[in-house]
């Protein structure tokens, strides 16, 4: 998420723990962090793809469509592994993870695993444009238009207080694994706010719904692509503009999040395997609207990921055909 800055969704502060988590989970079976398999026999033409699934529904939509196409068009076996972002990268070197479908920046992990260790490679853009920032519910922006300028936030800090934030205003964040600069921003912009972890993407969405319905003050970390913007037109708070390098030192960040051209990361072994699943991953591209459509089917319509993917694939046959290896129907 990506956030749910990305939704760099938190620095890889404990790579050793990430690897340990992979190893421990691997002792219990074929998946890491709890996985699920979808696919046919996984014949020799394709084999098995270990796909990381990070904790936001937009990524789940990516994974659903990729897995469905790999299964139904290429006879692949796709093992989905529910993992945080940092742990996903650690799996490239161990063989536990073949593919990440939605990467939100992570220059530290890029250096570690792509540049230095060379266990991973960049497979190119997903086509999705990522945005991370601070948002308020529509009623609040309408009632207090100046609140969308960060310079005015301290004026309203008392209105944002909660039992969790004490004598400061609350800035609500999502899953602790998301890319976020929020603690540094609060400190470096001298804001009388405290970052409080909401715990998940679902918790953030419910908080916005409640704040809009009850006319409560709420400011929270959020991100696009995100199906929820079709339901509620959240309003972004303007932080100091992003400039190249302004977030180079995580402790000194005092600017907005950068725009993200989301991309795919694969293990070097998988990328060079010649598998049709790797070619599919390289060609897999779609738009924010595409992702939001599938994500909404999962989150709102309560469709299974497979059924949501099937619905989208059948409605977008030309897009899917462009992803497939030559000669695949």
Burial class (CB in 10 A: 0-12, 13-18, 19+), 160: buried
Written as tens digits, the pLDDT of the chain (329 aa) is: 544 343 334 433 333 334 334 333 333 333 333 345 554 444 447 889 999 999 999 999 999 999 999 999 999 999 999 998 889 999 999 999 999 999 998 888 999 999 999 999 999 999 999 999 999 999 999 999 999 999 999 999 999 999 999 999 999 998 888 879 999 999 999 999 999 998 889 999 999 999 999 999 999 999 999 999 999 999 999 999 999 999 999 999 999 999 999 999 999 999 999 999 999 999 999 999 999 999 999 999 999 999 999 999 999 999 999 999 887 76
pLDDT, residue 219, reads: 98
* pLDDT tens by residue, 153-192: 999 999 999 999 999 999 999 888 887 999 999 999 999 9
pLDDT, residue 255, reads: 97
pLDDT, residue 86, reads: 87
* Region(s) of the chain under CATH 3.40.190.10: 15-128+262-323
Q: Domain 131-252 maps to which CATH number in 1.10.3720.10, 3.40.190.100, 1.10.10.60, 2.60.120.1310?
A: 3.40.190.100
3-state SS string for the chain: CCCCCCCCECCCCCHHHHHHHHHHHHHCCCCCCCEEEEECCCCCCCCEEEEEECCCHHHHHHHHHHHHHHHHHHCCEEEEEECCHHHHHHHHHHCCCCEEEEECCCHHHHHHHHHHCCCEEEEEEEEEEEEEEEEECHHHHHHCHHHHEHHHHHHHHHHHECCCCCCCEEEEECCCCCECCHHHHHHHCCCCEEEEECCCHHHHHHHHHHHHHHCCCCCEEEEECCHHHHCCCCEECECCCCCCCCCCCHHHCCCCCCCEEEEEEEEHHHHCCCCHHHHHHHHCCCCHHHHHHHHHHHHCCCCCHHHHHHHHHHHCHHHHHHHCCCCCC
Tell me the C-alpha distance between 55 and 166, whole Å.
Answer: 29
pLDDT, residue 22, reads: 39
pLDDT, residue 36, reads: 52
Residue 103, strand partner residues? 263
pLDDT, residue 1, reads: 52
Fold of 15-128+262-323: D-Maltodextrin-Binding Protein; domain 2 (3.40.190)
pLDDT, residue 33, reads: 35
pLDDT, residue 177, reads: 81
Crossing angle for the helix pair 57-74 and 276-283, to the nearest 10 degrees: 140
Tell me the C-alpha distance between 231 and 179, whole Å.
Answer: 24
pLDDT, residue 21, reads: 40
pLDDT, residue 178, reads: 83
* Region(s) of the chain under CATH 3.40.190.100: 131-252
């Amino acid at each position: 998420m990506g956030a749910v800055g990305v939704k760099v969704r938190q620095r890889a502060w404990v790579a050793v723990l990430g690897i340990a988590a992979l190893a421990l989970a691997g002792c219990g079976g074929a998946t890491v962090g709890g996985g699920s398999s979808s696919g046919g026999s996984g014949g020799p033409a394709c084999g098995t793809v270990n796909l990381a699934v990070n904790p936001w529904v937009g990524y789940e939509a990516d994974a659903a469509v990729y897995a469905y196409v790999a299964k139904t068009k290429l006879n692949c076996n796709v093992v989905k592994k529910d993992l945080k972002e940092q742990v996903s990268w650690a799996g490239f070197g161990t063989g536990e993870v073949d593919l990440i479908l939605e990467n939100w920046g992570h220059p530290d992990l890029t250096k570690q695993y792509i540049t230095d260790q060379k266990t991973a490679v960049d497979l190119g853009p997903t086509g999705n444009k990522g945005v991370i920032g601070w948002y308020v519910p529509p009623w609040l922006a309408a009632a207090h238009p100046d609140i969308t300028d960060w310079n005015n936030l301290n004026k309203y800090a008392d209105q944002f207080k909660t039992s969790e934030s004490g004598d400061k205003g609350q800035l609500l964040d999502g899953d602790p694994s998301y890319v976020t600069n929020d603690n540094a921003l609060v400190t470096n912009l001298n804001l009388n706010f405290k970052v409080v972890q909401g715990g998940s993407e679902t918790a953030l969405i419910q908080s916005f719904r409640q704040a809009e319905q009850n006319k409560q003050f709420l400011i929270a970390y959020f991100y696009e692509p995100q199906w929820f913007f079709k339901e509620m037109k959240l309003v972004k708070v303007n932080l100091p503009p992003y400039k190249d390098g302004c977030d180079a030192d995580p402790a000194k960040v005092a600017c907005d999040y950068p725009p993200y051209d989301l991309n795919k990361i694969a293990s070097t072994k998988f990328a060079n395997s010649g598998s049709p699943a790797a070619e599919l991953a390289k060609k897999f591209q779609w738009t924010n609207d595409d992702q939001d459509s599938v994500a909404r089917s999962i989150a709102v319509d309560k469709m299974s990921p497979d059924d949501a993917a099937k619905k989208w694939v059948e409605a977008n046959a030309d897009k899917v055909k462009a992803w497939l290896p030559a000669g695949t129907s």
